[in-house]
A and B are shown apart, each in its own frame.
Chain A
Amino acid sequence: MKTKLYFEPLGEQHDRAAFSSGIAAVDAYFRGDPIRQDVSRRVTNAFVLTPDGKFVAGFYTLSPISILSVDLPPSLQKKLPRRPIGATLIGMMGRDLSLRGTGVGETLLMDAFHKAWRASKLVSSWAVVVDAKQGARDFYLEYEFTPFATHPGRLFLLMKKIDLMFE
């Protein structure tokens, strides 16, 4: 399939019901009410990759979170403020099963980076973080995310690295 895909914010025109990533938690979130509620309450923004404004090749969500570092050794303390810092969370990401192995996941991730990077020029963000669902951890590790030790599903990529991708 060589149709030109493009990104746009999730809207009613997208065929959410037909989407299937094969991951139950992702599908339940995207096909059901949760994503619509989260978007309408401004808890998250959702973006869709589509060839025609209807079919959903993939999607992801972005929302702000804060990270507070406590209990740092003095040698590292000067690097981080003692108050919460902003970061950008990819809360959910999924591509349609029919597009498995076509690099759609990478495209989704790069677009998420690009949007997070642009937003960080207006409202500061130190990192893109992700709460990887089952099986997705390896995918993020391929793109240089660093896992946390006590929450192995949580990974981060510093914005200063993402700066290098778009500047």
Chain B
Amino acid sequence: MAATVTPMGNETAQKGRQRIDVRLRPEQKSEIERAAQIKGLTVTDFIVQNAVANARQTIREYDAWTLERPDAEIFAAALMEPAVLGPHLAQAAKNYRRRFLKS
């Protein structure tokens, strides 16, 4: 295994940092170690960089949905249709209005 090189100033950068303990299978670990080696990163840096990038992407996709076909078609097609309430939804709304909106 490659020795972990500790860059200068790492000591202070470590302050205030937090830990996450994860369990993984041996083959997953050796794959990660191999990939980190290829990228020239420590295993920690490799895991953190990838996990953070993935987390950001997940959050971005959550806050902004990009609809491609066929989802965009489904959405646009619904907009073309006239708005009609089915009986179940209409009744649910009526019950709610009577209970919460009439004072």
Determine how close the nearest CB of chain A comes to the CB of B99; give it in whole angstroms. 8
Whether A111 pairs with B100 at a CB distance below 8 angstroms is yes
Residues of A contacting B: mostly: mixed
Choose from A72, A142, A156 the contact partner of B73 (Cβ within 8 Å).
A72
Whether B89 pairs with A71 at a CB distance below 8 angstroms is no
Determine how close the nearest CB of chain A comes to the CB of B90; give it in whole angstroms. 7
Contacts of B58-72 to chain A: CB distance below 8 A: 62-72
Contacts of B77 in A (CB 8 A): 76
Q: Chain A interface: which of B10-18, B19-27, B32-40, B79-87? A: B79-87
Contacts of A131 in B (CB 8 A): 62
* A: interface residue count bin: 35 or more
Nearest B-chain residue to A63, judged by Cβ: B63
* Listed residue (B80, B84, B100) with the most chain A CB atoms within 10 angstroms of its CB: B100
Whether A149 pairs with B88 at a CB distance below 8 angstroms is no
Determine how close the nearest CB of chain B comes to the CB of A92; give it in whole angstroms. 12
Contacts of A35-91 to chain B: CB distance below 8 A: 65-73, 76-77, 79-80, 84, 87
* Listed residue (B64, B86, B89, B90) with the most chain A CB atoms within 10 angstroms of its CB: B89
CA distance A107 to B91 in the complex (A): 12
CA distance A76 to B80 in the complex (A): 8
Nearest A-chain residue to B80, judged by Cβ: A79
Whether B64 pairs with A7 at a CB distance below 8 angstroms is no
Nearest A-chain residue to B68, judged by Cβ: A71
Whether A70 pairs with B72 at a CB distance below 8 angstroms is yes
Determine how close the nearest CB of chain B comes to the CB of A152; give it in whole angstroms. 11
CA distance A71 to B96 in the complex (A): 39
A contact set with B: CB distance below 8 Å: 6-7, 65-73, 76-77, 79-80, 84, 87, 106-107, 109-111, 113-114, 126-127, 129, 131, 142-144, 146, 148-151, 154, 156, 158, 160-161, 163-166
B contact set with A: CB distance below 8 Å: 62-80, 83-86, 88-90, 92-93, 95-97, 99-101
A-B contact pairs, 17 of them (CB 8 A): A6-B100, A66-B65, A67-B66, A68-B64, A70-B67, A72-B76, A79-B80, A80-B75, A106-B96, A110-B93, A111-B96, A131-B62, A144-B86, A148-B74, A150-B68, A164-B90, A165-B89
